[in-house]
Structure 1
Amino acid sequence: MKVRANGIGIEVEDSGDGGDPDRPVVLLIMGLGMQLIAWPDSFVQSLVDAGFRVLRHDNRDAGLSQHFDAAGTGNLLWQGLRFQLRLPVRSAYAIQDMADDAIGVLDALGVQRAHVIGASMGGMIAQRMAATAPQRVASLVSLMSSSGARGLPGPRRDVMALSLRRPLARDEAARVHHSMQLVRLIAGPAYPPDETALRERLVRALRRAYRPHGLVRQMTAVAADSGRERLLARIACPTLVIHGDADPLVPFACGQDTARRIPGAQFVAIPGMGHDLSPRLAEVLLAHMVPFLQASQETQSA
């Protein structure tokens, strides 16, 4: 369903309400260029089975939410150079705008407070939510994300090179092939993707929406998001930071730094985990997330 959030149209999926207005809410925020369907169905259902109402949304410029094509994409290489030189990066919108979008989703659905789980860029959005709207965030799970602090390691060179490369052709097969190459590269040694399931997942996403220019604008917004690391000390809600020790896109040190900067944060390292949320990995993550969410909910209900 489409809602009006923070003044723009945002696509939302609402699961597990069950007609119970007191059912605690989990808001899932996906990462760079990804759609709400990137959260495995089994992952969502497990949260519902654990007693939560689960909200997912397409971030602006992704999926079925409002796009910003009128803003153009700018020169990504030039903005990347400015980032390397520690100069201000110009973007069409900010990560804080995307955090405000997520708050707008809660407003549109009449949800006062939610447990927030963010993956990769979604973790950055969730961090800003918890720091700037603490009354709306019951707990925070930052997954395979970063504090954004200067000096942290960046993506492995081969990952960055493939990320910036375009598919060899514009047809569906070429786009799926390119995406499969990237997922194989970043998935991590312990959780390699099932080829058939991965292809089905990518075809489904491509046919639902294809927004390469939105991906570029989101990427620029991440690069422009300076100063977030200083905000993390404000986060007072229960926080769980999860990161794979084999992540070639957002290296392990980024997760460690995030946990170090958030007072009282729990840190969980997943051996062999890279930067892909496969159904098999989801089961491992849920073993840490569900008890954390339930404990956070019980503390606030007491």
Structure 2
Amino acid sequence: MARAKTNGIEIEYDTMGSPDDPAVLLVMGFALQMTRWPEGLKRGLADAGFRVIWFDNRDVGLSTDLAQFAPPSPMDVLTAAMTGQDASKLVPYTLSAMAADSAGLLDAIGVAKADVLGVSMGGMIAQLMALDHPHKVRKLIPVMTTSGDPLLPPATPEALAALTAVPASRTPEAIGDIAVHAQHAIGSHPDLRNSAGIIRARAIEDFHRSDRPFGMARQYTAILATPRWHERLDKVTAPTLVLHGADDPLVRPAAGQDIARRIPGAVFKAYPKWGHDLSDKMADTLVADIVPFLRA
């Protein structure tokens, strides 16, 4: 792994594949570390002739911890956003700053332009990259994410509760248990979902690598405070492939369909039994659809 300075912070990142190959930037979702990208997805893209780049977003993993900023109240931020106030003034950063991080990382490592694939919150960041830094985005792949339209169908109560749940104590065992509970609430059908043992083990490994609950809280308020971007999506010029789980209870398939409807020429594809997770069993399926799109 390596570190790059950009946008006033340091980003922990890693790569796979030849520096001479076209670049694919993977942008991770809310609260998750770069370790969560399935090996099959990274290896499949690299074997197809792409240089794969993945990294820790600010405030999680080994990238810069914005500990000097106390986490804002999510309720205060949400109330401000819903009443037409500028909620971005209440938070230390928004998703737009995280999009600038992602674009800046490419600059820092000498990549002129990349195909950008983002999952969940990372898919929101990817869209903002395409809008705010279009010169850095060759093709766009938003995955299990939303257009930002507040009128879209909400998450199920169970999925939202799983997303925002906190362990009773920050011990490896408690972290592992809550990860299993969350993935059973928002993840894929058992035919696709990783086993409870794998989910627990990876959550504990990440806990030992970096435990930043306040960073996660700041990321959450960044999502809430970011001005909605759905009405800008018709300005996206990058060819776009939108991928979504047909059984996603957290970010409903209608959210992905809305992205595809708003971006000129975008294509939408949903996968049966796939929920809101990066299950290992989906890696080959995703690579099979992503590689032809990138090569076209």
Q: Is the 8 A contact 1:167 1:175 kept in 2?
A: yes
Q: Which amino acid aligns with 1:237?
A: A
Which deviates more from structure 2 when the two are superposed, residues 57-66 or residues 165-174? Answer: 165-174
- Cα distance, 1:160 vs structure 2: 1.6
Aligned residue number for residue 176 of structure 1: 176
Aligned residue number for residue 53 of structure 2: 55
Aligned residue number for residue 234 of structure 1: 235
Q: Is the 8 A contact 2:175 2:203 kept in 1?
A: no
1:64-108 Cα shifts (integer Å, max 9, x gaps): 000112111021233234444454423210111111101111111
Q: Which amino acid aligns with 1:45?
A: R
The two structures, once aligned, show a CA RMSD in angstroms of: 1.4
1:101-158 Cα shifts (integer Å, max 9, x gaps): 0111111111101011000010111111111222211100000000101211222111
Q: Is the 8 A contact 1:191 1:278 kept in 2?
A: yes
Q: Which runs of 5+ in 1 are unaligned?
A: 296-302
- Cα distance, 1:230 vs structure 2: 2.0
Q: How does 1:148-297 map to 2 (within 5 A)?
A: 148-189=148-189, 190-295=191-296
1:6-64 Cα shifts (integer Å, max 9, x gaps): 121110101112xxx43100000000011111101121111110000111011111110
Q: Which amino acid aligns with 1:7?
A: G
Aligned residue number for residue 70 of structure 1: 68
SS at match of 1:70: coil
Distance change (3 Å), C-alpha of 1:87 and 1:253: farther
Q: Which amino acid aligns with 2:206?
A: A
Which deviates more from structure 2 when the two are superposed, residues 197-206 or residues 7-16? Answer: 197-206
Q: How does 1:13-162 map to 2 (within 5 A)?
A: 13-17=14-18, 21-89=19-87, 90-162=90-162
- Cα distance, 1:199 vs structure 2: 1.9
Distance change (3 Å), C-alpha of 1:158 and 1:81: farther
TM-score by length of 1: 0.93
SS at match of 2:273: coil
Q: Is the 8 A contact 2:34 2:54 kept in 1?
A: yes
Q: Which amino acid aligns with 1:234?
A: K
Q: Is the 8 A contact 1:184 1:193 kept in 2?
A: no
Mapped partners of 2:186, 2:32: distance in 1: 15
1:241-264 Cα shifts (integer Å, max 9, x gaps): 011111111111111111111110
1:264-287 Cα shifts (integer Å, max 9, x gaps): 001001112110001101222112
